[in-house]
Structure 1
Amino acid sequence: MSKRDKKRELPPVPEALPASAVDAHTHLDACGASTAEQVRAVVDRAEAAGVGRVVTVADDIAAARWAVEASTWDDRVFAAVALHPTRTKDFGDADREVLEELSRHPRVVAVGETGLDYYWDYSPPEPQQEAFRWHIDLAKRVGKPLMIHDRDAHADILRILKEEGAPETVVFHCFSGDADFARACVEEGYVLSFAGTATFRNAHALREAAALVPSEQMLVETDAPFLTPHPFRGRPNEPYCVNYTLRDLAELRGVDLEELVLATARTAERTFRLRQVAPN
């Protein structure tokens, strides 16, 4: 097999974790799972590796509709709905009406991913910030956690949360800050979710942040099919790869693997109220 072909191949499914973990943020549709059968296959692979539940997250209106539908196909799948900040340039009333309705679905466990992205220039800061404020209000009105996408926008994210009044539960998906930013978020009571980027050996500031966050404010995620953890960086990602991230973070934090798996699963259950979601 050529090196190029290897890059297109999924990492091997690792030995199962000692307890059941939660992938707090994935994109099953982007992983190529468009049907109920395909979704079950992805989640079966995850469960074989000890990842028993996943939250599939929308980044546009079509994906939001799909995520809600997919969450009804398998009890191990939950949904989050919002409009990604890079898509907010033309965010209109019709979009708001759809998201308002979808966010109230019983298997939707968060409003997200919303926030700010100053890395890409698909949408100017002004409509991003306006949409972020709307999503904050939506999360408060429906009583569900706010799931934040934050890229190169730490200060504005914190400022707007303060100005609007943060919802009861705020999750920083794929946390990307350093130790100081992590401490500021922890002090506010926010939950920080770490993806495969926290395993990258050149991500020194992020790894320092991952080492200090209290387990009761810590989640793990894949953001699949992106951000595949070390040592498979650059290859396709799936929810089972949370296994690799948990193993790496347990070593980084100097804790027992089972302890970290159980702690982050408890945080996910509390954050997303997973035990309160009725089965399909």
Structure 2
Amino acid sequence: MLIDSHCHLDRLDLSVFDGSLDAALDSARRCGVGHFLCIGVSAENAASVKALSERYADVDCSVGIHPLDLEADGGPGLDWLLHELEHPHVVAIGETGLDYHYQPEAAEQQRGSFRLHLEAARITGKPVIVHTRAARADTLALLREADLPQAGVLHCFTEDWEMARAALDLGYYISLSGIVTFRNADALRDVARQVPADRLLVETDSPYLAPMPHRGKPNLPQYVHEVATFLAMLRGESYERLVEQTGVNFRRLFPLARVAV
């Protein structure tokens, strides 16, 4: 089953579907997408992603605070996060992590928030969805410090093989988005060829980062088909095999997701 392992359904540009999320999801389903993981990024959108998971049987969600969505006071604490994680369709924590590319001045605050999410993962046993940009050393250091018994995923991976290998050694999965199709992404394609088959996920991160040939346009969950097609070709395997394997990987990483077997 083809799964979009990371999308922001509450933020999609639905203009081509006359404003209908139902139509957008139906379009993705016709492209073979059988499940969607809708990602939380703030306290404000937690209710939205949970509502979508209640509305659609093939949508599960996560809750968390994105490192670029932190409030001046750090935002909600551990008690809030643990309460949100009690919802039956919240299958993961995040996205969380570190982004020193856009907000290097907030590095200390980001690290504090990341530690809080990792503690919630330790308490609940739910996997963590990690955003990392220009923060390789600190991201890996905090993952090692947390030493979680269950795996997580470095989503929309854009770093080098050295970081990927270090994350894999810690038990984490690598999720690739449409960025791997970009003309200037040779280094990322080298990573994509080397990720073990049983640790790979595919995603859109829609509405951001549409793959070729849609680059520059709003991204849609249906375009995970293009990502998977490109990766299969890149890795020298059949599309069907890659879809099957990434589906198995998703179910292993997110065992609470309502994915049909």
Taking structure 1 as the reference length, the TM-score comes to 0.86
- The CA deviation at 1:167 is 4.7
Q: Flag the 1:107–1:205 CA change in 2: closer, same or farther, 3 A.
A: same
Count of residue pairs brought into register by the alignment: 256
Q: Residues 186-222 of structure 1: CA distance to partner in whole angstroms, max 9, x if unpaired? A: 2222100000001112111111001110111000000
- The CA deviation at 1:182 is 1.6
Q: Select between 169-178 and 90-99 the one with higher mean Cα deviation.
A: 90-99
Query: How large is the RMSD of aligned CA atoms in angstroms?
Result: 1.9
Equivalent position to 1:126, from 67, 88, 108: 108
Secondary structure at the counterpart of residue 85 of structure 1? coil
Equivalent position to 2:178, from 196, 209, 217: 196
Equivalent position to 2:139, from 144, 147, 157: 157
* Aligned position for 1:70: 52
Mapped partners of 1:44, 1:222: distance in 2: 16
Mapped partners of 2:202, 2:169: distance in 1: 19
- The CA deviation at 1:180 is 1.9
Q: Is the 8 Å Cα contact of residues 72 and 107 (structure 1) preserved in structure 2?
A: yes
Mapped partners of 2:38, 2:176: distance in 1: 16
Q: Flag the 1:105–1:133 CA change in 2: closer, same or farther, 3 A.
A: same
Q: Is the 8 Å Cα contact of residues 176 and 203 (structure 2) preserved in structure 1?
A: yes
- The CA deviation at 1:94 is 4.2
- The CA deviation at 1:139 is 1.1
Q: Flag the 1:107–1:186 CA change in 2: closer, same or farther, 3 A.
A: same
* Aligned position for 1:114: 96
Q: How does 1:84-103 map to 2 (within 5 A)?
A: 84-92=66-74, 94-103=76-85
* Aligned position for 1:24: 5
Secondary structure at the counterpart of residue 198 of structure 2? helix
Q: Is the 8 Å Cα contact of residues 220 and 264 (structure 1) preserved in structure 2?
A: yes
Q: Residues 167-189 of structure 1: CA distance to partner in whole angstroms, max 9, x if unpaired? A: 51110010111122222222222
Return the letter of the residue paired with 2:102.
W
Question: Mind listing any 5+ residue stretches in structure 1 that lack a counterpart?
Answer: 1-19
Secondary structure at the counterpart of residue 167 of structure 2? helix
Question: Mind listing any 5+ residue stretches in structure 2 that lack a counterpart?
Answer: none
Mapped partners of 2:72, 2:242: distance in 1: 41
Mapped partners of 2:132, 2:7: distance in 1: 16
Mapped partners of 1:91, 1:270: distance in 2: 36
Mapped partners of 1:207, 1:219: distance in 2: 14
Identity in percent: 39
* Aligned position for 1:10: none
Secondary structure at the counterpart of residue 230 of structure 1? coil
- The CA deviation at 1:97 is 3.4
Mapped partners of 1:173, 1:89: distance in 2: 23
Secondary structure at the counterpart of residue 253 of structure 2? helix
Mapped partners of 1:254, 1:102: distance in 2: 41
- The CA deviation at 1:154 is 1.1
Secondary structure at the counterpart of residue 106 of structure 1? coil
Mapped partners of 2:256, 2:245: distance in 1: 15
